[in-house]
Amino acid sequence: MRVVPTKNLKKSILGLTLAVLSVVIAGRSYQILSEKDDLERYPPPGELIEVNGHLMHINCLGSGSPTVILEQGLGTGGTATLWQDLHEQTSRITRVCAYDRAGVGYSEPVDIPTRSSNVATNLHELLKNYGIEDNLVLVGWSRGGAHVREFQKRFPKLVSGMVLVDSVHELQYQAVPPAPVPPPSSSALYQVAQFLQPLGLLRITGLVDAQIQGFPIPEQEKPRARALYNMSHTVSTLLNETSGANMDSEEAQAPSSLGNLPLVVITQGEPVILPQGLPPAYTLEYFQELRRVWNELQGELARLSTNSKQVIASESGHANMHSKQPELLVGAISDVVFAIRNDEDLNIF
């Protein structure tokens, strides 16, 4: 028997549909106006350059050669907040450029996984369009380390030196001990959040603002960070970055030799602690073993070049090195720059 909807039911469905549409339209309008207001208050400090059909943000300070390029880690909110102090200090030595990958910070998003191959190609095009084509010192933090090694692999003649800041290793997931139990996953939450963010719901609830409070960035830069992380495409970009990292890991090969390229590897060294909120199967011994393997992988990265040195950041962890011991990063960059200028080996510094 066919059930025919009553007039009241039809009205209820229509009313509910209109209510949902009203919320969506209101939320989207609020988000668009808020983004416009944020960009007026916190405009990009650098320039927007067209790269393969979308705009990318690059900010160069200082003068001289070689040119230092700062490559941030996975999912960070843009060079304007994360690298500000390091950027300014390094600019006293030479020209230094910080840029935002597609969808990060002030750069326009692209809806593809952020693989190192794409990052290297886009960076090459960005630098060419900006007028920088050779004698580069690449500085890569965390996942950014894989990106700069891929760039050097593709464009070796353009790269004169490198600094790896607690960089990932291409084969790290094959090397680290398996997790005692599957770690908590937030994948489903991010999948939902990418649809809620363009509607302004993450902005309204203050979820992003709460996360920013714990970021290792200067207090005066946190309002800018809130503005950038509340952009409509932030969660989608984070998912693209994570997807790209996973895809690269599945196809990973050992990192390529860097010959005698001047190379400094900076490695976290603060004492290992047991993070809170994890299942009991995660023990201090497990995290100590993770650190031991990590240190071995960092040593392998240092041995990629015959002209390298490794520095241990004894007071810093993976995420806060640039804020807790910035002098180590500035010193490492300075050593590489002067080794290139004077055509000398790093071991004299």
Q: What is the pLDDT along the chain (349 residues), one digit of tens a residue?
A: 555 556 666 666 666 666 667 667 877 887 888 889 989 999 999 999 999 999 999 999 999 999 999 999 987 677 767 778 889 999 999 999 999 999 999 999 998 999 999 999 999 999 999 999 889 999 999 999 999 999 999 999 999 999 999 999 999 999 999 988 887 667 777 788 888 888 888 888 888 887 787 777 778 888 888 899 888 888 899 999 999 999 999 998 999 999 999 999 999 999 999 988 888 899 999 999 999 999 999 999 999 999 999 999 999 999 888 888 999 999 999 999 999 999 999 864 4
Residue 15 falls inside a structural domain: no
**Secondary structure (3-state) at 320:** coil
Closest CA to 198 of 163, 171, 250, 233: 233
Residue 320 falls inside a structural domain: yes
Residue 76 falls inside a structural domain: yes
Residue 342 falls inside a structural domain: yes
Residue 9 falls inside a structural domain: no
Q: Is the peptide bond before 109 cis (omega within 30 degrees of 0)?
A: no
Task: Look up the CATH number of the domain holding residue 227.
Answer: 3.40.50.1820
Number of domains in the chain: 1
Q: Which domain, by its residues, includes 173? A: 47-348
Residue 34 falls inside a structural domain: no
Residue 326 falls inside a structural domain: yes
Residue 332 falls inside a structural domain: yes
Q: Please give the model's pTM, rounded to 2 decimal places.
A: 0.91
